Amino acid sequence: MNADRPPHPVPPRAPGLRPALDALAARRTTAVALIEQALDAAQASKRELRAFAAIDRDGALARAAESDARYAQGRPRTLEGLPIGIKDLIDTQGIETGYGSAAWLGHLPTADADVVRALTERGAIPVGKTATHEFAWGVTTASATFGDTLNPLDRTRIPGGSSGGAAAAIACGAVAAGLGTDTGGSVRIPAALCGVVGFKPTFGALPTRGIFPLAPTLDHPGFLGATVDDVAMLAEAFHIDMPPHDVPASVRLGVLREIAPVPLDANVAAAFDTAVARLGPLFACATLDAPGLFDGVFEAFAHIVLTEGGVGHFRHNDADRIAADYGCETIERLERAKTLTLGDYARAQQTRRDFTARLYRAMSAVDCLLLPTCPCTAPRVGQASIDIGDWSGTVREALMTYTAPFNVAGFPAISIPLAARDGLLPAGLQIVAKPGHDGALLQIAQQIERVLHADASTHSHTTRSTQ
């Protein structure tokens, strides 16, 4: 068996948010029926994949009954009756929210996070809390306390993290979309590894109140969905709207194939090159020539996360509680945080400013960047290091090298699936825009998604016809 070939059948996806909304509006189904189906699927994914940390059956069904009443009265809201997942890092009133940690077992927030409230006020219904790496401080969604979350496309593989539960829930068909967070790639990485869509808007575009902080100057709430349209529907609740006109033919895409020192593995390289070739006739694509663009940025990112994460945890917890209730991985990072100085943090912030200025200059002649989301497909559960070509390093370094820079700069970025050919595991195509161009980014991503999906469908049909 090919080492990258999924041993499990690809699970069916949940209907997208828009088809579900159309079915509700036409009364072909009810919100109660839709939510019951999502709850059953969520429970199964909790049991088999550990995609959910908690499920709110009673609360979700009560909200669904209210949604059906609004449909009957002819006054549904824009997301009325749609099931979604909420990352366990994000507060939900009355639904257990443990932030992925044994330190917060049984915690029931008294209020919804602002991002949750914006969606529920428009009729969306949280069915439960999707699993997260402890305090969002990791890229595997592994947990010695609760068990590792598994990739539904291959249960020997990780789903990525830290929003791995949301990506797994969408990939296995439990829900079509949900809320995550992204500090260094935590929406886009699991989206890429699970073959779904992950969107991180411009820094500051979404409120963070009610979300457990990792590194406040890097933390971005974000969306995951089965398609770009799914995440765009949720983004509309925050006034992120696609332009009313079609994507201009003059859109310029800067192609960035690799970020040193981490090369692409063969499968990702082939999928990325095929996608760029397919897009070439439709967009103005050009290789981005920006030597030294990413110099020092990953080291600066690591210093900022360690410093801000350490300050947050040491401010609110005593050493005994950390030692007793935190996982070993988080404790190890907090120990490293103690070794950093204010000077280290100041230098990291200066590197950040320098990098952001370089990125603006590099993108002055293009509308968006195209690059892989991750340099490899999903690593195996428990795998600590990875070899790609002549490069060796940790799984964390490999998965974050292509995503973390855009948290450092605060630029909006989205990952859409690259076609997984011949049963191979999926990879992600990352598209990055300038700050404030979130709606245009979604529109361009949707157009690229259509092109690549049509290409994949044609390839699949041709392959079946020749068998």
Spatial separation of the C-alpha atoms in residues 240 and 31, rounded to whole Å: 26
Query: Count of CB atoms within 10 A of residue 295's CB?
Result: 14
434 as an active site residue: the answer is no
143 as an active site residue: the answer is no
Spatial separation of the C-alpha atoms in residues 152 and 11, rounded to whole Å: 7
- Active-site pick, 87, 129, 200, 434: 87
Nearest one of 408, 409, 381 to 395, comparing CA atoms: 381
Written as one string, the DSSP assignment of 90-137 is: B--TTS---TTSGGGTT---SS--HHHHHHHTTT-EEEEEE--SGGG-
**Do 109 and 92 touch, CB atoms closer than 8 A?**
yes
**Do 136 and 100 touch, CB atoms closer than 8 A?**
yes
Spatial separation of the C-alpha atoms in residues 97 and 116, rounded to whole Å: 13
Can you give the C-alpha Rg of the chain in angstroms? 21
Indicate the angle between helix axes 17-25 and 31-49, nearest 10 degrees.
150
186 as an active site residue: the answer is yes
| Cα within 13 Å of Cα(256), Cβ side | 29
Spatial separation of the C-alpha atoms in residues 4 and 111, rounded to whole Å: 43
**Do 112 and 91 touch, CB atoms closer than 8 A?**
yes
- Active-site pick, 186, 200, 415, 434: 186
- Active-site pick, 143, 162, 163, 415: 162
Question: 269: helix, coil or strand?
Answer: helix
Question: 85: helix, coil or strand?
Answer: strand
> What's 365's DSSP letter?
T
**Do 442 and 235 touch, CB atoms closer than 8 A?**
yes
Spatial separation of the C-alpha atoms in residues 425 and 419, rounded to whole Å: 9
Strand 385-388 relative to strand 197-200: parallel, antiparallel, unpaired? Answer: unpaired
**Active site (catalytic) residues:** 87, 162, 186
